């Protein structure tokens, strides 16, 4: 479905053309003076230079050609040559009715893609901390947006499951339980089904081992050796590794589940390892990789780079593979499995150089086609109120679980403050609203920016917050419920009709922007644009609500029209928050 702005622009282009001006001048934009008009066209100003005429003369001619056009209530030329536009409310009502019937409320995607989106990126055996929160929250939203737009989207958590942390855990486990069969070199039997640790033990083992390795050289070297042994396929360690994976992944699934985040693939760096030898050989055969100080590297710099980019190291001097090697090998696997035309990686923006290197090597070595899109969506840091990276009160790394618990508590207290719902209901509602507070607090910022985690602000029911959006949705739900009850009409999916109500017109225009906003957010991988849209839409709805008697309206046709409009409003709002990755409760 064409966007409202496109339809208006088309009429203006025709009018410019009719007067023998370049049709490009007909571009229409949303008005920057909403007190004067809804849309404006500034083409006559640019036309003045091209045609050596006073802008107001051009504007007057164009306006004259549009006088009988049914799309507009008024089209006016004002000095020095702007054109102010007001739409006819019947035209907008018809647009909304088309939108209501259209697939995806009129969003279109002319060239659906196959997209692999890599986000989450948790490291196995290390607890999920707030650093991983942003990747999960942003990635999940981008996935939903792209999928909504009709793309085939494959999401992969890409676990960090092949690093030194594994050797550290194995070594620490050996210190603690040397009698386990995994440490008996003469053992030849089957390895036990049951893991020799629980998730809480595992979460305690890792930080302990990591701290030890910083002060104990011998321990560190042992852990390094254990990692190498694991990576070369030593069976007892592989058995321990499998236990670590099973116990951790189960826990990770639960944690991501609490965030309403899920993945199609639970692959990790380990899955890419079989592709590494072939990758290295290929890079050598293609004469892209060469030895430099014992390491194997690939140059990635380009002539038009503004700063110098270091080569990508694909093999260290001790023969070990690196982070970039794993990512390249993973791409080989993804090409075999999905041959995507678009890759999206959601990770901390400090990893930008890494991804630039990986993307360039992929293209240079023809691992992916030249025209495959490879995008890095780098996000900023979540800071505390002191402006420094978010920490617990005693300076430690905040666990995601504790963070969620904190925000739920803040919302719970708010609900209990002035309401009389049962504790159970308050608890359930707090979970739904808490998640919205957390996700909206994050997503409403442009991803690349750092932001300050401020529980009191995020959990507030007023202002640009998740709870405010949910509150608006709940308010509409309640009006619709009342309408259904008193009219005996369960169907609120009615046609929108035009009225002379000014705030209704504002609301109609805002709802009509949906397709434009979503298509743009999908194009730019920008959930924050959906946040600012739902905020504007909520504000416009609340103004309409305060200025209009909806249920008390006596004119039944008018009333049905209002119901139709707020029903479409709530559908659009709920669609948007679903794309952001949260939902609304029935009551708040
Ligand atoms: N595990 C990594 C980390 O915690 C993030 C992984 C990002 N994705 C990727 N394909 N490199 O930093």
Q: How far apart are CA 403 and CA 255, in angstroms?
A: 12
**CA neighbours closer than 13 Å in the CB half-sphere of residue 564:** 20
Q: What are phi and psi of 20, to 5 degrees?
A: 65, 40
Distance 22 CA to ligand 1 centre (A): 50
Distance 394 CA to ligand 1 centre (A): 27
pLDDT for residue 395: 67
> Is 125 buried (19+), middle (13-18) or exposed (0-12) by CB count in 10 A?
buried
End-to-end CA distance of the chain: 35
For 388-426, give the secondary structure using H, E and C.
Answer: CECCCCCCCCCEHHHHHHHHHHHHHHHHHHHCCCCHHHH
pLDDT for residue 171: 97
pLDDT for residue 491: 84
Compute the Cα dihedral for 102, 105, 106, 107 and give only its sign: negative
Look at residue 347 and give its three-state secondary structure. Answer: strand
pLDDT for residue 384: 87
CA 349 to mean position of chain CA atoms: 15
Which of 123, 125, 158 gets mutated to test ligand 1 (max ligand atoms within 8 A of its CB)?
A: 158
Nearest CA to ligand 1 atom 5: 121
pLDDT for residue 81: 94
Specify the pairing of strand 82-87 against strand 39-41. antiparallel
Residues in the chain where the model's pLDDT stays below 50? none
Nearest CA to ligand 1 atom 2: 121
The answer to whether 332 touches 363, Cβ cutoff 8 Å, is no
pLDDT for residue 567: 96
Q: How far apart are CA 28 and CA 49, in angstroms?
A: 19
Bond preceding residue 80 cis, omega within 30 of 0: yes
Bond preceding residue 583 cis, omega within 30 of 0: no
The answer to whether 503 touches 544, Cβ cutoff 8 Å, is yes
Structure tokens at 349: 């923006």
Nearest CA to ligand 1 atom 6: 121
Q: How far apart are CA 55 and CA 21, in angstroms?
A: 12
Distance 269 CA to ligand 1 centre (A): 9
**CA neighbours closer than 13 Å in the CB half-sphere of residue 209:** 28
Q: How far apart are CA 142 and CA 438, in angstroms?
A: 16
Structure tokens at 474: 């709940």
Match 């920490």 to its residue by tokens: 391
Q: How many residues does the chain have?
A: 588
Specify the pairing of strand 114-118 against strand 342-348. parallel
For 56-100, give the secondary structure using H, E and C.
Answer: HHHHHHHHHHCCCCCCEEEEEEECCCEEEEEECHHHHHHHHHHHH
Match 């086609």 to its residue by tokens: 369
| Angle formed by the axes of helices 199-215 and 164-176, nearest 10° | 100
Structure tokens at 204: 């305690």
Cβ-Cβ contacts under 8 Å for 464 (sequence gap 6 or more): 444, 531, 535
How many DSSP H helices and E strands does the chain contain?
21, 13
Distance 119 CA to ligand 1 centre (A): 8
Distance 121 CA to ligand 1 centre (A): 5
> Is 424 buried (19+), middle (13-18) or exposed (0-12) by CB count in 10 A?
exposed
Structure tokens at 570: 């709530």
Distance 401 CA to ligand 1 centre (A): 20
Structure tokens at 499: 């009225």
* Cα–Cα nearest to 377, from 137, 127, 113, 580: 137
Structure tokens at 41: 């066209």
359-370 core/surface letters (b: 16 or more CB in 10 A; e: else): bbbbbbbebbee
Specify the pairing of strand 312-315 against strand 295-298. antiparallel
Q: How far apart are CA 125 and CA 301, in angstroms?
A: 36
Structure tokens at 251: 């826990």
Look at residue 345 and give its three-state secondary structure. Answer: strand
Which of 142, 351, 355, 357 gets mutated to test ligand 1 (max ligand atoms within 8 A of its CB)?
A: 351
Nearest CA to ligand 1 atom 7: 121
What is the number of the ligand 1 atom nearest to the C-alpha of 351?
12
What is the number of the ligand 1 atom nearest to the C-alpha of 330?
10
Q: How far apart are CA 265 and CA 400, in angstroms?
A: 22
Which residues' Cβ are closer than 6 Å to ligand 1? Answer: 118, 121, 123, 158, 160, 327, 345, 347
Match 């207290």 to its residue by tokens: 413
Cβ-Cβ contacts under 8 Å for 179 (sequence gap 6 or more): none
Q: How far apart are CA 223 and CA 58, in angstroms?
A: 78
What is the number of the ligand 1 atom nearest to the C-alpha of 323?
11
Radius of gyration for the chain, computed over Cα atoms and rounded to the nearest angstrom? 29
Distance 242 CA to ligand 1 centre (A): 20
Which of 121, 123, 130 gets mutated to test ligand 1 (max ligand atoms within 8 A of its CB)?
A: 121
Distance 131 CA to ligand 1 centre (A): 11
Distance 160 CA to ligand 1 centre (A): 7
């Amino acid at each position: 479905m064409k966007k409202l702005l496109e339809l208006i622009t088309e009429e203006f282009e025709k009018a410019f053309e009719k007067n023998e001006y370049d049709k490009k001048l007909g571009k229409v934009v949303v008005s920057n003076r909403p007190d004067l008009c809804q849309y404006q066209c500034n083409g006559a100003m640019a036309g003045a230079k091209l045609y050596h005429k006073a802008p107001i003369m051009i504007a007057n001619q164009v306006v004259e050609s549009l006088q009988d056009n049914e799309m507009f209530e008024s089209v006016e030329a004002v000095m020095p040559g702007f054109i102010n536009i007001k739409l006819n409310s019947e035209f907008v009502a018809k647009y909304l009715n088309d939108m209501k019937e259209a697939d995806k409320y009129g969003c279109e995607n002319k060239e659906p893609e196959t997209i692999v989106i890599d986000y989450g990126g948790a490291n196995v055996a290390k607890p999920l901390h707030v650093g991983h929160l942003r990747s999960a929250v942003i990635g999940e939203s981008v996935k939903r947006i792209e999928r909504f737009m009709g793309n085939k989207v494959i999401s992969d958590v890409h676990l960090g499951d092949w690093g030194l942390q594994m050797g550290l855990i194995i070594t620490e486990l050996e210190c603690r339980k040397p009698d386990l069969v995994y440490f008996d070199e003469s053992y030849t039997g089957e390895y036990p089904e049951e893991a020799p640790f629980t998730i809480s033990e595992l979460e305690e083992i890792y930080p302990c081992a990591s701290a030890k390795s910083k002060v104990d050289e011998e321990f560190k070297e042992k852990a390094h050796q254990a990692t190498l042994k694991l990576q070369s396929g030593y069976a007892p360690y592989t058995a321990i590794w499998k236990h670590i994976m099973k116990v951790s992944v189960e826990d990770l699934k639960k944690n991501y589940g609490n965030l309403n985040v899920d993945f199609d693939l639970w692959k990790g760096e380990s899955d890419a390892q079989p592709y590494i030898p072939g990758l290295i050989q290929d890079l050598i055969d293609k004469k892209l990789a060469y030895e430099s100080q014992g390491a194997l590297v690939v140059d990635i710099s380009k002539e038009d780079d503004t700063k110098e980019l270091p080569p990508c190291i694909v093999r260290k001097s001790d023969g070990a593979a690196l982070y970039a090697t794993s990512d390249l090998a993973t791409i080989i696997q993804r090409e075999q499995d999905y041959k995507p035309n678009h890759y999206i990686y959601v990770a901390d923006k400090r990893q930008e150089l890494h991804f630039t290197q990986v993307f360039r090597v992929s293209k240079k070595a023809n691992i992916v086609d030249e025209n495959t899109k490879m995008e890095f969506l780098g996000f900023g840091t979540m800071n505390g109120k002191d402006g420094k990276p978010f920490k617990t009160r005693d300076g430690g790394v905040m666990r995601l679980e504790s963070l969620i618990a904190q925000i739920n508590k803040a919302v719970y207290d708010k609900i209990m403050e002035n309401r009389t719902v049962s504790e159970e209901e308050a608890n359930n509602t707090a979970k739904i609203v808490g998640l919205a507070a957390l996700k909206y607090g994050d997503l409403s910022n442009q991803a690349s920016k750092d932001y300050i985690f401020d529980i009191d602000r995020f959990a507030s029911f007023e202002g640009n917050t998740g709870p405010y959006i949910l509150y608006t949705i709940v308010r509409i739900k309640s009006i619709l419920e009342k309408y259904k009850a008193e009219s005996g009409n369960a169907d609120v999916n009615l046609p929108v009709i035009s009225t002379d109500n000014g705030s209704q017109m504002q609301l109609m225009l805002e709802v009509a922007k949906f397709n434009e906003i979503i298509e743009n957010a999908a194009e730019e991988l920008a959930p924050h644009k959906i946040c600012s849209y739902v905020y504007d839409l909520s504000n416009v709805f609340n103004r309409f609500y305060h200025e209009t008697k909806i249920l008390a309206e006596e004119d039944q046709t008018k009333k049905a029209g209002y119901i139709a409009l707020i029903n479409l409003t709530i559908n659009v709002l709920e669609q948007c928050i679903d794309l952001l990755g949260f939902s609304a409760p029935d009551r708040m």
